[in-house]
Structure 1
Amino acid sequence: MRGHFSTPPLLVEQILDACGYTPDKDLSGIRVLDPACGSGNFLAGAAHRLLSYGKRSGLSVRNLARYTRDNIWGFDPDPIACTLAELQLRSTFDLHHPGSHALHQLHVHQADGLAFPWEQSKHIDLFLANPPYLAAKNNDLSGYRSTHQRGQVDSYLLFLNLALQVVRPGGWIGLVLPDPVLARTNATLERQRLLAETTISHIWHLADVFAAYVGAVVIVAQKTPPPSHHQINWQRKRWIDRIPELEVAEVSLQLPLSNTVSQALLSQQPGAELRYLLSTIKDTIIERLQRQLHTQVAAHVPRTLACLGECMLIRRGEELGKDSPLLKATPPMTDELRWYPVLRGGIDIRPYEIPIASCWIAREQIVKPVDRYLAPKILLVKSAGRLQATLDVQGHVVLQTLYILQLNVCIASGEEEQAATNSEDELYFFLALLNSRILQDYLYTLHTAYKWVQPQIEQYVLAQLPIPINVAYPEKVQIIDRAKLLMHACSKSSSVVELKAQSYELYEEQERAICALYQAALQQRRVTEPPRDVVDEGVSLYG
């Protein structure tokens, strides 16, 4: 099984439009390649437009058969897929020219498109693909030479590399990829090449295109270096598979493209991430926080922000799934074993809510140091698109779907370890920050939005969240006191902070105080910065 899901015909049409492959243009010399053609939706879509062009231009059936044979190329290692693709192409030709027997041969080949010797080939005009989503950790991709150059490479990245290799200068690329390509670290080199070697026309981030548990990203790009001020059109939406018949004549196949982001801005990201939402936070506190974290490197500039990983140890729980047979609904009545309550992840954790375990584990089954669990700690859900944090002082064991956050203490040797006497008050301060709207929006805009289906908060991302330092003592105490009150004010039914009616003002007061801390950190930095010709005052998202 190669993870194949057919590209919806409507999406094929949209991609062909975006690539400029339309019947009103001369398509007779445009060579199209789909190196992972599957059942041939891209090939059939291209053939239909080529034949429509021929009809408009009055070309003979013989010439159109030759153009179809010479210009439409597909590869797939699955013989059944190749048979279906060839049937689609022949059916498309027959629809335009019923009863014709001019189409004798087609270039649909049972072969691995990645293994083909493409080294000397740069003659492809239009590269179309929805490649299989195969992870290197689950599949042997070592036979491909490009995988020997670095660590884990998922199969779709090999197809992106192939597109950059074989498309001629000025040619077009239309790819349907899984959305981790937008920001995952292992795709950094491919994104850097894409941003440097092509002018990206469109980025469409779509949910519900396929039955698989993955978001899809359509990238449409021309193989030419981008102009310095080029703007990429982007769209984030749920895919609608059908358009009602009455609307077909009135609805353009093009997605609405009202949003743009600078390609140069994406190129400046630390890992060349395709963070299209950066265009929506220009001159906001989120953009300023990101910029300050990346620029406060000069020794003579006092720091007003630190990364969370500098302040707290961030660890994972037991490497067990929530359905592990080691977990019991009730502890057995025995004197030989000692049993500990277990928290499983998002099932048991709500923001600010005092956690209560619903299962147990035997002491001898706990692999990691038990003291880590017994000490007061902040718990944060890993498999989520937003921050969900609470404080545990009851000594729960936790599973791998939760992060454990405990205060750092530097000892004489220079190593960091958990002190026996953590300040619970300090933990309440960090709990308030982690549940705040400002960090929720920061995390979403810069990280979790780019994996639409089953998002996760990566440990390195969590460690890089901005934390205000040198906070005045009275302000910190007030935030801590409110956080303690909120632990008893929240609903038990939601992954967002849901409050009892009388607690709304308390939460809003907390949000205003936290926002003021971040604003102050940015303002203190601005005061200490050397004068500049142009000062960007910025506009806060938070009043």
Structure 2
Amino acid sequence: MTQQHDLLRWYEANLPPHERKMRGHFSTPPRLVEQILDACGYTPDRDLSQIRVLDPACGSGNFLTGATQRLLTWGQHNNLSATRQARNLERNLWGFDPDPIACTLAELQMRTAFTERYPKSKALQRLHIHQADGLAFRWENHANVDLFLANPPYLAAKNNDLSGYRTTHQRGQLDSYLLFLSLGLQIVRPHGWIGLVLPDPVLARANAMRERQRLLEETTIHHIWHLADVFAAYVGAVVIVAQKTPPHQQHHIFWERARWSERQTIQAEVAKNMPAMVSRTVSQHLLRNQPGTELRYLLSTIEGTLLERLHRQYCSHISGKLVYLGECVFIRRGEELGKDSSFLRTQPPESTEQTWYPLLRGGIDIRPYGIPVAKYWIERQHIIKPLERYLTPKLLLVKSAGQLKATLDLQGYVVLQTLYVLHLNQSNLNQQQTEKHKFSLEDELYFLLALLNSRLLQEYIYVLYTAYKWVQPQIEQHVLAQLPIPIHAPTIEKRQIIQRARQMMQACSPSTAVVELDVQRYELYEEQERAISSLYEGALQERPGMHGAYPDIDEGVSLYG
């Protein structure tokens, strides 16, 4: 198959990056194909003669070629003639793709696999590789697929016109891969199998909720593999292997989280009889009970912890000593400009009649507890949002990050939209406090700063939200607004947390010696962690729970009342 492989590699290598992205063309690595076929039970030790396989977005045919090899191996083990083998291929393996070159390569791969085993046979006639859009076919009377395999194109409705599909739904952003997932659930017969390679936003993004719900209710999911670096794309990959049968109440899903290259190394070591990784599982029933049926596989790692109890109270919607962060602060974004905007300057002109303001960018200029220092400036006329929003004391939190990174700005910096700006909702705080135990505005900011930079809330965000997107994870505004906050903290403990937060700001000052900084910061941080954990424990023990369901929020809208 050397010549055929060379042609395939040439096609893949010479497809321009913009064309690849526009068409969502990223071929499934052959080794991953083999692993998915194994997980779906499509192996040569079984009778494969009656198993109908469909890839509705077959591309250059890696899934179908893997299935071809296995179907031929089964036939040889059972002494089938070349004619019988050809009939099985023609009857059982089906592929669709709108790209004529991809279809040609898919058929070439399958024919080559056949002729290598039967070089003199002319029995193989017409393979079912069709140049067509697999989503546009009328599948209503074809719910008889035994094995549905697909690595569908990753196309979003915001960049592509998907309105022509009859299954288009009106909720959030529509992504083409959701249509393929829905198709698999529609046409796979009872007890048939689904093996999908999808972009990892499917794990938790709100627009995939309905498909996740159907998947969790209608199928028994056997595997979830969350992989990075499988494709040269700005997205992680999720492999979902499921059988079309309702799950048992106690069913557990095997899950893995790894980089593709590391996973291959581990499996190679296992093949050499070296110690294998401990298998990790998560209850499918637990996933079904998530508020948006998110596939939060990491929930299995926090059983019995304070983190699990916080999440359980979040799901229960019972009033108590914990409130949402959005009830304490207004959450807004900064200026809707990119870091490369022509409006930004590294320094203001020496002589100008215009007023210039120092400006902070996202994760570039912000680190936990670090006193921010601006390296850019912006002219007053280019500041669109109310200036007083920036000039008053505020918390700043990085939006595009896998964990919480917050600092306090008392100097009045303007910020870009890659940062969230948090201002205290003073009317709400005044209601929560008594005259005897009031704290200053600055103290309240330091208290929230300590919570946002705590290991507890960082893990809370990671386990529940940001871990499910390998590439460019983001903390959504509604997620930030729903962080649990112990608003009725005991006065003494709260004052101590505030004092340590102030000390942490000093410890993270650039003027502090490195050794001193490391020692002081470590000791303060660990002491702070113990105090914050104790605070949450107390809030849960006194009366576990939180306020009711939280509304969606828009930029600049009050999150209280």
Structure 1 length-normalised TM: 0.90
Name the amino acid aligned to 1:310.
Answer: E
Judged with a 3 Å threshold, the aligned counterparts in structure 2 of structure 1 residues 133 and 257 are, in CA distance, closer, same or farther, namely farther
Measured after TM superposition, the shift of residue 334 of structure 1 is: 3.6
Aligned to 2:469: 451
SS at match of 1:240: helix
Q: Which residue of 1 aligns with 2:214?
A: 193
Letter matched to residue 460 of structure 1: H
Instruction: Work out which of the residue numbers 160, 163, 166 in structure 1 matches 2:181.
Output: 160
C-alpha distance in structure 2 between counterparts of 1:95 and 1:307, whole Å: 64
CA distance in 1, matches of 2:34, 2:448: 49
RMSD (Å), alpha carbons: 2.3
Residue 164 of structure 1 aligns with an amino acid whose one-letter code is L
Shift of the 215–251 alpha-carbon distance from structure 1 to 2, 3 Å rule, reads farther
Q: CA deviation at 1:313?
A: 0.8
Secondary structure class of the residue paired with 1:146: coil
TM-score under structure 2 normalisation?
Answer: 0.87
Inter-partner Cα distance in structure 2 for 1:293 and 1:499: 36
Deviating more after overlay: 213-222 vs 148-157:
148-157
3-state DSSP of counterpart to 1:429 = helix
The share of aligned pairs that are identical, in percent, is: 69
Residue of structure 1 in register with 2:532 after alignment? 514
Amino acid corresponding to residue 167 of structure 1 in structure 2? V
After superposition, the Cα gap between the structure-2 partners of 1:257 and 1:195, relative to the gap in structure 1 and judged at 3 Å, is farther
- Taking structure 1 as reference, are residues 491 and 222 closer, same or farther at Cα in structure 2, changes over 3 Å only? farther
SS in 1 for 2:344: coil
- Give the conservation status (yes or no) of the 8 Å contact 2:321–2:544: no
1:393 to 392, 405, 410: 410
Q: Which residue of 1 aligns with 2:204?
A: 183
Matches within 5 A, 1:32-181: 32-181=53-202
Task: Call closer, same or farther: CA 1:73–1:525 in 2, change over 3 Å.
Answer: same
**Could you say if the C-alpha distance between residues 349 and 37 of structure 1 is closer, same or farther in structure 2, counting changes exceeding 3 Å?**
same
Secondary structure, counterpart of 1:488 in structure 2: helix
Deviation at 1:160, TM superposition (A): 0.3
**Contact 2:371/2:508 (<8 A) preserved:** no
Q: Give the CA deviation at 1:526.
A: 5.6
Looking at structure 2, the residues matched to 123 and 296 of structure 1 have their Cα atoms a distance apart, in angstroms, of: 42
Indicate how the Cα distance of structure 1 residues 168 and 257 shifts in structure 2: closer, same or farther if over 3 A, else same: farther
1:260 to 281, 292, 304: 281
Contact 2:172 2:206 in 1 (8 A): no
1:321 aligns with 2:342: no
Structure that is richer in helix per residue: 2
CA distance in 2, matches of 1:71, 1:390: 60
* Counterpart secondary structure, 2:348: coil
Equivalent AA in structure 2 for residue 8 of structure 1: P
The 1-side partners of 2:284 and 2:510 are apart by 43
Among 436, 447, 463, the residue aligned to 2:454: 436
Q: Work out whether residues 234 and 257 of structure 1, in 8 Å CA contact, stay in contact via their aligned partners in 2.
A: no
Alignment check: 8 A CA contact 1:235 1:256 kept: no
Q: Does the CA contact (< 8 Å) of 2:313 and 2:544 recur in 1?
A: no
Matches for 1:435-514 after TM superposition, within 5 Å: 435-490=453-508, 499-514=517-532
Q: Partner residue of 2:425?
A: 408
Q: Shift of the alpha carbon at 1:249?
A: 9.9
Is the 2:171–2:207 Cα contact (8 Å) retained in structure 1?
Answer: no
2:217 matched to 1:217?
Answer: no
Q: How many residues align?
A: 510
Q: CA 1:499–1:221 in structure 2 vs 1: closer, same or farther (change >3 Å)? A: farther
Corresponding residue of 1:540: none
Deviations 1:482-541 (A, max 9, x none): 111111212769xxxx9422332122111111111011111112699xxxxxxxxxxxxx
In structure 2, the CA distance between the partners of 1:167 and 1:506, relative to structure 1 (3 Å rule), is same
SS in 2 for 1:189: helix
Tell me, yes or no, if structure 1 residue 384 matches structure 2 residue 384.
no
- 1:309-364 deviation digits (Å, cap 9, x = unpaired): 11111111111100000101111134421111110110000110000111111111
2:350 paired with 1:333? yes
Q: Secondary structure at the match of 1:346?
A: coil
Shift of residue 432 of structure 1? Answer: 0.3
The answer for unaligned runs of 5 or more in structure 1 is 415-420, 529-543
Distance 1:173 1:4, change over 3 A: same
1:273, 1:527 → 2: CA distance? 21
Runs of 4+ displaced beyond 4 Å? 241-244, 246-249
User: How far apart, in 2, do the equivalents of 1:241 and 1:427 lie?
Assistant: 42
| Matched AA of 1:12 | V
Q: Which residue of 1 aligns with 2:9?
A: none
Match of 1:15 among 24, 36, 61: 36
What's the CA shift for 1:150?
3.2
Could you tell me whether the CA contact under 8 Å between 1:381 and 1:403 is conserved in 2? yes
Map Cα deviations across residues 111-139 of structure 1 (whole Å, 9 max, x no partner): 00011111221010000000011111111
Partner of 1:219, secondary structure, is strand
Q: Is the 8 A contact 1:491 1:500 kept in 2?
A: no
**Partner Cα distance (1:399, 1:15) in 2:** 43
In 2, the alpha carbon distance for the partners of 1:60 and 1:108 equals 23
Shift of 1:100: 2.1
Give the Cα separation in 1 of the matches to 2:440 and 2:104.
66
